[in-house]
Chains A and B, each alone.
Chain A
Amino acid sequence: MKQSNIELSVGAFVLLGLTAIVWFAVQAGAGAAIGGSSYEVNARFTNIGGLKPGSQVFIAGVPVGRVEKIDLNPQYAAVVRLNVKQEIHLPSDTIASIKTSGLIGDKYIALAPGSDSNNLPPGGTITDTESAVDLESMISRFAFGNVSSSPSPSPSAPK
């Protein structure tokens, strides 16, 4: 009898541990589905540079939602569906930018609310977006961009 009691409590403890692991996994992945109600908005980008479903959405550094889904539209642009907390109202001229935490960190979306008095409805689309800035091409532009232009006599000098 005593033996089976111990076995039962160990079993319950293991189950509790497993539940905790599953809960943490869901929270770290697409956690927006758990806790608090939310609404969807879409945003179109020409380059999302490694953004993933589950990436966070911030306003002024405060997490307000997550990326739910990423699709490619017929014009080969990325359409990102965001889940934003219900209590956050976004003016219709809100700008969505894809940023990187640190130099090589994860990608996230930063929202900069605008000044319009109309808010984006659930399912609405953010038209003003800033895609991921391609650091490599910028560096290569600075490194190799001016190779072909001659430094001395400028083209306008001889007249």
Chain B
Amino acid sequence: MWIDRFQPILKSSLLLFFLGILRLAHAAPTDDALAALHSSTDEVLSVAYGGHGTENLAARVRPLLEKSFAFDIVTRQAMGPGWRQFSAADQKRVTDLFTELVIRTYSSRVVGTQRPKIVYGQPVELAPDRREIPTRVTTSTDSQPISVVYRMVKLPTGWHTYDVLIEGVSFIANYRAQFDGIIQNGGAPAVIRTLEAKLAALGDSHS
């Protein structure tokens, strides 16, 4: 029978196939940063697309985002060189306001009821304590995948996200360019005023 002749080939290719799956399964959890990003993104998406709508979404995802993002580093980096001239009280106030702004902006991006599909790429080591994880996100409204790159830092509490690049545009670089002008013109008080005004405007549009 012709099938007998192909049996060894069939067997070996099946073996190779299963070995491949084993290797893949083994490769996935070896990178802690990827595992941390994967689990925190899954948690946030489950809450955001859990069928409870966007009502109070910012408050519901806040504890999850506070766990996965290093908001003190995000704020410090977004402010740029002016940050070092802020008083400790101003730094605390700016961090609180900016964290609130990021969480509100993040949750206002949740649209539709279809959970977006995320494909995770291979993590890139930027430094021993820094990783870059490329992902491709496909939303239900746009058929083309969007490139989203997460930059993560290892802190004593684990891996945390400190920057997100959407289509190559850095979140931190974008805010740093904006805040630089504000800080040069009016220092910390101007930043606090701007953030408060922005949050008030966001609050109005949501209610």
Q: Which residues of A contact B79 (CB under 8 A)?
A: 115
CA distance A145 to B172 in the complex (A): 26
CA distance A138 to B114 in the complex (A): 24
> Which secondary structure dominates where chain B touches chain A?
mixed
A114 touches which one: B81, B127, B140, B143 (CB < 8 A)? Answer: B81
Tell me whether A81 is interfacial, beta carbon within 8 Å: no
Asked if A156 and B168 make an inter-chain contact with CB atoms under 8 angstroms apart, the answer reads no
Tell me whether B55 is interfacial, beta carbon within 8 Å: no
Q: How far is the CB of B117 from chain A (nearest CB, A)?
A: 14
CA distance A148 to B167 in the complex (A): 21
CA distance A145 to B168 in the complex (A): 18
**With contact pairs A95-B172, A133-B167 given, residues A149 and B81 touching in the complex (Cβ less than 8 Å):** no
**With contact pairs A44-B126, A75-B124 given, residues A155 and B114 touching in the complex (Cβ less than 8 Å):** yes
CA distance A46 to B182 in the complex (A): 31
Asked if A134 and B168 make an inter-chain contact with CB atoms under 8 angstroms apart, the answer reads yes
Chain A residue nearest to B126 (CB atoms) is A127
Asked if A112 and B142 make an inter-chain contact with CB atoms under 8 angstroms apart, the answer reads no
Asked if B168 and A114 make an inter-chain contact with CB atoms under 8 angstroms apart, the answer reads no
Interface residues on B, range: 20 to 34
CA distance A117 to B112 in the complex (A): 43
Tell me whether B84 is interfacial, beta carbon within 8 Å: yes
Tell me whether A71 is interfacial, beta carbon within 8 Å: no
Q: How far is the CB of A109 from chain B (nearest CB, A)?
A: 12
Q: How far is the CB of A88 from chain B (nearest CB, A)?
A: 12
Asked if A146 and B176 make an inter-chain contact with CB atoms under 8 angstroms apart, the answer reads no
CA distance A112 to B176 in the complex (A): 8
Q: How far is the CB of A151 from chain B (nearest CB, A)?
A: 10
CA distance A77 to B124 in the complex (A): 10
Tell me whether A97 is interfacial, beta carbon within 8 Å: yes
Query: In residues 103-131 of chain B, which contact A (Cβ within 8 Å)?
Result: 112-114, 124, 126-127, 130
Asked if B142 and A117 make an inter-chain contact with CB atoms under 8 angstroms apart, the answer reads no
Q: Which residues of A contact B169 (CB under 8 A)?
A: 130, 133
Chain B residues packing against A (C-beta within 8 Å): 76-77, 79-84, 112-114, 124, 126-127, 130, 140-144, 151, 163, 165, 167-170, 172-173, 176-177, 180
7 contacts between A and B (CB under 8 A): A91-B81, A93-B77, A114-B80, A115-B82, A127-B126, A128-B170, A149-B142
